[in-house]
Amino acid sequence: MKQLLLTARLDVAESLRARWFQVYTLVFGGIVALLFAFGLTESRVLGFIGLSRLLVTYIQLTMAILPIFVLITTVRSVAGDRETGVLEYLLALPISLGAWFWGKFLGRYAVTFAPVFLAMLGAAAWGAFNGIDVPWAMFGYYTALLAAMALCFLGLGMLISALARSTDVAQGAAFLLWLALLLFLDLILLGVMIQGHLSPEAAVTIALVNPLQVFRTAALALFDPQLIVLGPSAYVIFDLFGADGFRVFALAYPSALGLVAASAGYVIFRRGNLL
């Protein structure tokens, strides 16, 4: 445990010094600041007002940015350490591979989730201070959703890092994965699949294998509980899970996917050449 915490602390300190982290923090802090600046808390659209609108917009933007940020920075860090000899030296110190891998995972999780959460927390604090009604239930669920999303993509990033032997390959693979998930995010694509005589259940199931789609749908469900914007897909989702079931699924599935991917990455890392 001591080794794990030492590694986690080392990774946190490394990240805090890294330029990617400064940009990352600036992006999420900047998004919230911009949303405030554009008066999203003041506006009323389709009966949707106050801080909840800001949070909805924020989470939509986060979903576009966070996965690629987490994937690229994770694989760059781990594969880069391997290429430059950092790993050769640090792993010659008496540390177990489990402590190193999971310590790295823990540290990176903290630094990827913290700025996103703190930006949102800052918005809520600002809202509370100015007497704007803060939708705490929505805030809590969005926090959990963001935590699950960070866990999911960090796990996938660690798996890619364990598989790829060079930074270039790791970055390419991370980018391709993100692109593939984006492509299957398109509901039009799903429509085409259904037109091609794929059963709606199968099409929706394929869509919900994609963690990005799960996040997006869960975020939509908070202000559109009937998922009207999804059209007939909503019926399939509610038939499969029910409204509450889907909310739980949207947290549990990506988290499990991230942990399974990270565990697979650990097994590959432990069994193969470390360098």
Partner 1 sequence: MILIEHLVKTFRRVRALDSIDLSIGPSERVALVGSNGAGKTTLIRCLLGEYVCDGTVRIDGFDPRRQRAAALARIGFVPQLPPPLRMPVSQLVGFSAALCGVEPRRIVAVAGQLGLDVEAVRARQFVSLSGGMKQKLLIAIALGRDARVLVLDEPAASLDPEARRIFFDLLAQRLDETTMILSSHRLAEVSALVNRVVEMDMGRVALDDKVAGDIAPDIRLPCRIVLGRFEPAFVKALDGWEFAADAEQRIWHGEIAGPDRLRFLGIMSRYTGLVISFSLGDDPQ
| Contact footprint for partner 1 (CB under 8 A) | 2-3, 6, 10, 13-14, 17-18, 84-86, 88-97, 271-275
Closest distance of CB 88 from partner 1, Å: 6
- Phi first, then psi: give them for residue 127, nearest 5 degrees: -60, -45
The β-bridge partners of 49 are 44
Closest distance of CB 76 from partner 1, Å: 13
Structure tokens at 93: 């110190």
> How far from each other are the two terminal CA atoms of the chain, in whole angstroms?
24
Closest distance of CB 178 from partner 1, Å: 26
Cβ atoms of residues 275 and 88 within 8 Å: yes
Closest distance of CB 75 from partner 1, Å: 18
Nearest to 245 by CA among 236, 230, 190, 191: 236
Cβ nearer to partner 1, comparing 30 with 272: 272
Cβ-based neighbours of 153, under 8 Å, separated by 6 or more? 66, 67, 70, 71, 74, 211, 258
Cβ nearer to partner 1, comparing 68 with 99: 99
Closest distance of CB 217 from partner 1, Å: 40
Cβ nearer to partner 1, comparing 44 with 271: 271
Cβ nearer to partner 1, comparing 76 with 247: 76
Nearest to 109 by CA among 164, 160, 170, 66: 66
Cβ nearer to partner 1, comparing 3 with 57: 3
Region of 93 please: left (phi>0), alpha (psi -120 to 50) or beta.
Answer: beta
Cβ nearer to partner 1, comparing 97 with 243: 97
Distance from C-alpha of 120 to C-alpha of 144, rounded to nearest angstrom = 12
Closest distance of CB 231 from partner 1, Å: 50
